[in-house]
Amino acid sequence: MDRQTSRILVTNFSDEALEVPSRTLLGEATACGPGSVSTLQAYAFPLSDTTPTPAPFSTPPGSPLDQFEFDEQPLAARAQENATIIVDDVFRVGVDDGGIPHREVVALLRQHKEAFSLDGRPGHVQDVAMRIPVEDTAQLQADPPRRVSPEKRQAIDKELAQLLEWGVVEESTSPVSAPVHLVKQRTKLRFCVDYRSLNKATTPDRYPLPRVDDVIETLRGHSWFSSMDAVRGYHQADIHPEDRWKTAFATHCGLFQYRRVPFGLTAAPAFFQRMMDALLGPIRWIAALVYLDDIVVFTHSLAEHLTALKYVLSEAERVGLRFSPAKCTFAVRELTLLGRKVSGFGLGVMEDRAAAVRELPRPRNLQELYHTLGLLSYYRSFIPRFSQRAAPLTAL
């Protein structure tokens, strides 16, 4: 498409493949005159007349294939391939053509340093607490602690001491308990509680989580990106005092319960999404969005970016949310999310992901075929007439 043409998402909701011929009239657009759209007084984001042509990138465009992401790194880690520099030994900031970090961005980050946790301690969001409603007939279990190896026992001791110091957990006299489970995550063990019994009895929270394709489509075509990761996101919000006993867990050290939201609760993602959506307020889906525990700020110009960043950082300071500076990246021209490169040029796929797909072995049975089709379908938007091409395999 012409660089001066805005992009509009068109979706086919039928079960049949549909090929739209070139120059097909899909609709009409009418220009809005001054005053025809109201804006919020506190924060208005002027839109450019056209999408500006971004500066060229040093990395080549991605290839139109990818594979599933099962172990996503933080957004900042996937944005660091862009030209950035560490400022004040804390902030990773994009640089201009001369290799200098954007001064306005650096000044803004220094002004809002309280929005960041420099020691790894999670923030404490005020005036919000998660409830854990359970069915009236529910019978929660009291499971004993599981046997663990000396190595895992040492890991439990270390994590428990940290959580107690931070005020995330407290000693408990609850009549129920869940066992602790350590999950191998890259090079370390992650402390988790097996809440399957509690989750089965919990009344579901149906607050919607963002669709991946909606996130990608919203980000594409913008020229400035920042990603911010909340320090131990869930641990920054309280569990309602009346529901804390339901989160009790048993270890060799005794019985404890969570004061803050733990990982593993079935309603935690919906609660956290609702809380973060409320924080973004009027700029949600316009200049910022939440994906998992990351906030992504996206704009067409640097001036708009500064305004949006100031809003997010100010709101974080106001409510007590804290970001991890080591997992944040500010004011870069390209962002990689779920294996896709998003920039002012549009959408591409990372070359290493495409190479992994090209090297996939031919499926030898229906189970392998099922996984292969699922992998390819994840990026069907990059494959013309995908449904027609995959139909013979899908029929199997």
Sequential DSSP letters for 99-140: SPBPHHHHHHHHHTGGGB-SSS------S-EE---B-TT---
pLDDT of residue 217: 85
Identify the three-state secondary structure at position 18: coil
CATH top-level class of 75-121+211-232+273-346: alpha beta
> What pLDDT is recorded for position 56?
39
Give the per-residue pLDDT at 50. Answer: 38
Nearest to 216 by CA among 342, 34, 123, 318: 342
156, 251 contact by CB (below 8 A)? yes
Taking phi over 0 as left and psi of -120 to 50 as alpha, with beta for the rest, 321 belongs to: beta
d(CA 347, CA 331): 18
Structure confidence at residue 73 (pLDDT) = 47
pLDDT for residue 31 = 64
Count H helices, E strands: the chain?
10, 16
Q: For the chain, where do the domains classified as CATH 3.10.10.10 start and end? A: 129-207+235-267
**Beta pairing partners, 53:** none
Where does CATH 3.30.70.270 sit in the chain?
Answer: 75-121+211-232+273-346
- What are the residues facing 268 on neighbouring strands? none
* pLDDT, position 151: 84
**Assigned fold of 129-207+235-267:** HIV Type 1 Reverse Transcriptase; Chain A, domain 1 (3.10.10)
**Any bridge partners for residue 330, and if so which?**
93
Q: Which residues of the chain have pLDDT under 50?
A: 1-2, 37-81
pLDDT by residue (tens digit) across 103-132? 999 999 999 999 999 888 999 999 999 999
**What sign has the CA pseudo-torsion 243, 144, 198, 136?**
negative
User: How confident is the model at residue 97, as a pLDDT?
Assistant: 80
- 101: Cβ contacts below 8 Å, ≥ 6 apart: 84, 85, 87, 93, 94, 95
Q: What is the identity of the amino acid at 233?
A: G
CA dihedral 210, 211, 212, 216 (to 10 degrees): -80
> CA nearest 286: which of 228, 358, 218, 194?
218
Query: What confidence score (pLDDT) does residue 55 get?
Result: 40
> For position 146, what pLDDT does the model report?
85
Residue at token pair 């001066």: 4
